[in-house]
Amino acid sequence: MRVLVTGGAGFIGSNLAKRLAKDGHDVVAADSFLSAHFLNLVDFPGDVLTLRDHEDVQSMIDLGRFDAIFHEASITGVVGANGENFNDQQRMMRNNVETFRQLLDWSVETKAQMIWASSCSIYGRGAVPMKESQAPDPLNIYAFSKLTMERMAARYAPRLAKPIVGLRYSNVYGPGEDHKGKLASMIHQLAKQMRAGKRPRIFTAGEQKRDFVYIDDVVDVNLKAMKSKTSGAFNAGAGAAWSFNQVVAELNRVLKTDLQPDYFTNPYSFTQDWTQTDLSAAKAAFGYAPQYDLAKGIDAYHASGKLGISFA
């Protein structure tokens, strides 16, 4: 198949592009390189398309028809890699929603299949385990942009040749995320502190729980989603939750350290105490079943040689 991966030099996009190329597909990784890192694509043999800016959809259209598009490109949070404020509503909506609209129009025209990255941030303060059927509660403009994209995808679905699947990722971790800085997973950020001999800094008393999903499961859920017979937005997490204290214990195990958490008071007015995905819908629709629990994921990350390691 001829496949396009947007955000292809980013964390998830580059891992996906490499896997698709390994599986024998003709892959184009498209990225603006404004917040990505070339090191993610050093071992990618396919074509790399560099976009003029985040709103440059035309360069992708100019390459001709693709059988499938994996749309991973996005501003990925309300803080930038260096802590800068990305809480600019217009910029977020233009970048995330309006580029998606153009990609969807193009998909209708060319009958391309669309699999795209949504987010569990849509659930906000919602009940746990989080189910697709519950009311959305977006707490920032990033989450609202993803919700708007989901609603747009639903409106386009009847006009598309193939089912359109949005994947609500939870907290993804694994090799290729270092360029994300403050947006990288807490697993990577804590491992960095510990490799530097520092005690890992986490909110008091470390019992907040997160659905941490390993990158290989995220790549796998994208491949499985291509077989979906129904359009929709589906949870794509680990289906389980682990506390930050457990993360620190696993990191001490693989890094062979004995660093106790350095607890500090959460400065934010709102953070979720517990996130966990219910995966029954993704399982029923296309057989998604994650293979990595926290220990196995951290083992694999450590074995990659990239856990807690900074890009050059």
Ligand X SMILES: NC(=O)c1ccc[n+]([C@@H]2O[C@H](COP(=O)([O-])OP(=O)(O)OC[C@H]3O[C@@H](n4cnc5c(N)ncnc54)[C@H](O)[C@@H]3O)[C@@H](O)[C@H]2O)c1
Task: Report the interface residues with ligand X, using CB under 6 A.
Answer: 6-7, 9-13, 31-32, 34-36, 51, 54, 72-76, 95, 99, 117, 119, 169, 171-172, 180
| Catalytic residue of the set 18, 123, 142, 173 | 142
Q: Which of 240, 233, 190, 235 is nearest to 212 (CA)?
A: 240
146 given a catalytic annotation: no
Residue type present at position 267: P
| Catalytic residue of the set 180, 209, 224, 306 | 180
Count of beta carbons in the 10 Å neighbourhood of residue 16: 27
At closest approach, how far in Å is the CB of 33 from ligand X? 6
Residue type present at position 300: A
Q: How far apart are CA 36 and CA 195, in angstroms?
A: 24
Q: Which of 213, 211, 217 is nearest to 272 (CA)?
A: 211
Cis peptide before 73 (omega within 30 of 0): no
Sequence-distant (≥ 6) Cβ neighbours of residue 60 within 8 angstroms: 4, 6, 30, 49, 51, 103, 106
79 CB burial (10 A radius; 0-12, 13-18, 19+): middle
At closest approach, how far in Å is the CB of 197 from ligand X? 27
In our burial notation (b when 16+ CB lie closer than 10 A, e otherwise), range 177-200 reads bbbbbebbbbbbbbbbbbeeeeeb
Q: How far apart are CA 225 and CA 248, in angstroms?
A: 33
169 given a catalytic annotation: no
Nearest residue to ligand X, by Cβ distance, number only: 10
Decide whether 170 or 231 has the Cβ nearer to ligand X: 170
At closest approach, how far in Å is the CB of 96 from ligand X? 7
Strand order from edge to edge, sheet including 26-31? 47-50, 26-31, 2-6, 68-71, 113-119, 165-169, 232-236
At closest approach, how far in Å is the CB of 217 from ligand X? 12
Instruction: For residue 89, give both structure tokens.
Output: 């509503």
- For the annotated catalytic residues, the residue numbers are 142, 180
